[in-house]
Structure formats: C-alpha cells, structure tokens
C-alpha cells in the first residue's frame, strides 16, 4: 500500500508514521508537512531513510494532486489545532482545516484514492461535569472555538464528498492524545518538561476540566483498524475510557516525579475553556474489534515522562519560546 500521511511531522502524525514503518514494513510511506511551528522533521529523523518526506502545504493544489496520484490511501492528520492560537488569529485555521481539506478531497475525487480523516471530539462542544452522557457518532455538533468549528467544517466536507461524489472515506473523532513527540505548548508535555526543569506545574482555574485521555499509540492503532475494517462514510469515535480532570493529571505527574501531589500553582483559566469531553467508543470496539493497550493512565503517563527525559534534545529548542508566550498571557 502506498500511504500519503498529511501532517506526518506533527505529534499524532509522526507517531502514526513510526508505527506504520514499524508494523507495516511493506507500506510505502510519503509524508507531506508544511513544517509550521507544530511540525518538526526531527520527529522523523530516525526513520527518514524508510519514508519519503515532502515539505509543502495541503492548500497547494498542484502538489496535492501530484502526491495523491501516486497514493492508494491518504491519512489526513494535518491541522491547526491549538485553541488559544485560534482565538488570537483564526485565519490559519480557516486555511489549513477547511481549504486544505477541500484541496485534498478534490484530489481524492480525481484519482480515486481512499481517504481517512482525523478529527477531534471538540466538534461536539463540551459536557457538564455531572452529565453521565458521552459523545457518540450521533451527538450534534456544537463547536465553541475557531479551531473546533473549522474541524467540524472539515468533517462535514468529507461527508459531503462521500455522499455527493462517491469518494471512499472514513472519519474518526478522537479524545485527547498524549505520548512522545507532542509539542511542549500542550498540557501534559508542558507540565512534564517544567517538572524536569524543577518548575512547579501550573493548573488552569480549579483544575476541574475533564479530558478523555488516550495514548497516541492506541489512537493510531485504532486509525489503522478503521482503515482496514471500517465502512466508507462512517464516523468512528476513538477513546480509551480515560476520563481525568486536569487536577488528577497534575497530581499523577507530581507522584511520578516523587513530589507532593499538591505542589503546583494555580493560574487564571483559559477563555472558553470547555468543561468536559468524554468518548463512547462502543462502535469502534463492537463493530471493528479494537481494544486499547494502555488501559491504565498512570502507566501510559510514566512511559511518556520517560520519553521526555530521554529526548531532551528534541523538545528543548522550543521550550524557552513557548514559556515566554505563556508568561506574556499570564499562564
């Protein structure tokens, strides 16, 4: 299989490329990535001889058309994905998440390539803390930021191209990923790298906001399960029943590092900070037979801490600038 991975130098995409090279040696993998701040070619350094890397933008129609003509399967990870950044400047989110996805879909339509679209549970909005419900594929969309609204729009484009033009495509909406190669601006790697540097973790507000955490390897094994077994036009929700509030995450990290579980600082909450996300993965498990490997959150978190400790050269170059941004915002 000839696989084109968009955003393959980003966090989840790079892990997907590593996993594909490791577990599917017959796959011919091409990575297309614009290498914006969240994409890092160093994330692929140890497998560059096993893949083809193309630096370019998914909004470049000629480039996308050429690459799609040589692919059997496109796996679309490329996205602008930081909520805070989308509040400051929505324009890159419009271009990448909407125009970029449209550009890919037109190439898919022309060349008859299979397509898998990676999306987020944030398209559904958020849930109340005391609500027993979880997101399902039938949950109405209710995005609350420029980021989540453009991802919702990209999902709808994919569904429209399936229905209107008959392309063969599957979709997945995932809960919050954690693991290797995640940019230090994100919640878990920021706390981990701060602790490595002897800096207390910082907690937004009261820390009650709940996320449904999944290790990136589990997410990507689910993606391959959907590609192999999923039905075209269907949406599958990827989650591992890993609901934890932010306070629990910080306290687990403090325990891993051997510190008192209350040794953290409170900072003012983010604007528009969704309260709770939770994924119902029943469809993925019952229809396709997928199961997660990391069923214990603390085990997955320990493995993540170990990776950041062992790969300081990867994350250190971005750390200072990231912390300067947060400091300017009072976070």
For every one of its 331 residues, what pLDDT tens digit does the chain have, with 9 covering 90 and above?
999 999 999 999 999 999 999 999 999 999 999 999 889 999 999 999 999 999 999 999 999 999 999 999 999 999 987 777 888 899 999 999 999 999 999 999 999 999 999 999 999 998 999 899 999 999 999 998 899 999 999 999 999 999 999 999 999 999 999 999 999 989 999 999 999 999 999 898 889 999 999 999 999 999 999 999 999 999 999 999 999 999 999 999 999 999 999 999 988 877 667 789 999 999 999 999 999 999 999 999 999 999 999 999 999 999 999 888 888 877 7
Helices 246-256, 187-196: inter-axial angle, 10-degree rounding: 30
Fold of 2-177+214-238: Rossmann fold (3.40.50)
Note if 269 is an active site residue: no
Read off φ and ψ for residue 293, nearest 5 degrees: -90, -45
Contact 74, 112 (CB under 8 A): no
Read off φ and ψ for residue 120, nearest 5 degrees: -130, 155
Q: What is the pTM of this model?
A: 0.94
Distances (CA, A) of 236 to 92, 120, 171, 239, 266: 27, 11, 6, 10, 36
CA–CA separation, 115 vs 276, rounded Å? Answer: 30
Read off φ and ψ for residue 60, nearest 5 degrees: -85, 95
Q: What is the pLDDT of residue 204?
A: 86
Q: What is the pLDDT of residue 253?
A: 98
268 three-class SS: coil
From the candidates 33, 122, 218, 243, which is the catalytic residue?
A: 122
Q: Where are the domains of the chain?
A: 2-177+214-238
From the candidates 33, 40, 80, 121, which is the catalytic residue?
A: 121
Q: What is the pLDDT of residue 91?
A: 92
Residues with Cβ within 8 Å of 62's Cβ and at least 6 positions away in sequence, in order, are none
Eight-class DSSP state of 259: -
Q: Is the dihedral of CA 21, 303, 14, 158 positive or negative?
A: positive
Note if 26 is an active site residue: no
Q: What is the pLDDT of residue 272?
A: 65
From the candidates 124, 147, 178, 294, which is the catalytic residue?
A: 147
CA–CA separation, 100 vs 57, rounded Å? Answer: 8
Please count the other Cβ atoms lying within 10 Å of the Cβ belonging to residue 261.
13
What are the b/e assignments for 227-236, b being 16+ CB within 10 Å?
beebeebbbb
Q: What is the pLDDT of residue 271?
A: 67
Note if 122 is an active site residue: yes
């Amino acid at each position: 299989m000839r696989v084109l991975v968009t955003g393959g130098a980003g966090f989840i995409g790079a892990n997907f490329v590593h996993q594909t090279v490791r577990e599917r040696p017959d796959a011919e993998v091409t990575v297309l990535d614009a290498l914006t701040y969240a994409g890092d070619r160093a994330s692929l350094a140890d497998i560059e001889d096993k893949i083809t890397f193309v630096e370019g933008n998914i909004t470049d129609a000629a480039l996308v058309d050429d690459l799609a003509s040589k692919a059997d399967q496109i796996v679309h990870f490329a996205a602008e994905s930081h909520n805070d950044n989308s509040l400051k400047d929505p324009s890159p989110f419009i271009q990448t998440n909407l125009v970029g996805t449209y550009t890919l879909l037109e190439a898919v339509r022309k060349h008859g390539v299979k397509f898998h679209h990676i999306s987020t549970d944030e398209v559904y909005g958020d849930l109340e803390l005391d609500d027993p419900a979880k997101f399902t594929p039938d949950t109405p969309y209710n995005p609350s930021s420029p980021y989540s609204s453009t991802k919702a729009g990209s999902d709808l484009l994919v569904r429209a191209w399936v229905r209107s033009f008959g392309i063969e495509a599957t979709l997945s909406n995932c809960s919050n990923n954690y693991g290797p190669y995640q940019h230090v601006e994100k919640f878990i790697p920021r706390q981990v790298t701060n602790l490595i540097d002897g800096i207390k973790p910082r907690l937004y507000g009261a820390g009650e906001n709940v996320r449904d955490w999944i290790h990136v390897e589990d997410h990507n094994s689910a993606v391959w399960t959907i590609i192999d077994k999923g039905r075209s036009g269907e949406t599958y929700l990827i989650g591992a029943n890993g609901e934890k509030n932010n306070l629990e995450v910080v306290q687990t990290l403090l325990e891993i590092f051997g510190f008192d579980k209350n040794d953290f600082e409170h900072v003012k909450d983010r604007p528009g900070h969704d309260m709770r996300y939770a994924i119902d993965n029943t469809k993925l498990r019952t229809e396709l037979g997928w199961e997660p490997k990391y069923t214990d959150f603390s085990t997955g978190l320990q493995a993540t801490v170990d990776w950041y400790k062992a790969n300081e050269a990867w994350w250190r170059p971005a750390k200072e600038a990231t912390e300067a941004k947060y400091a300017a915002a009072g976070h």
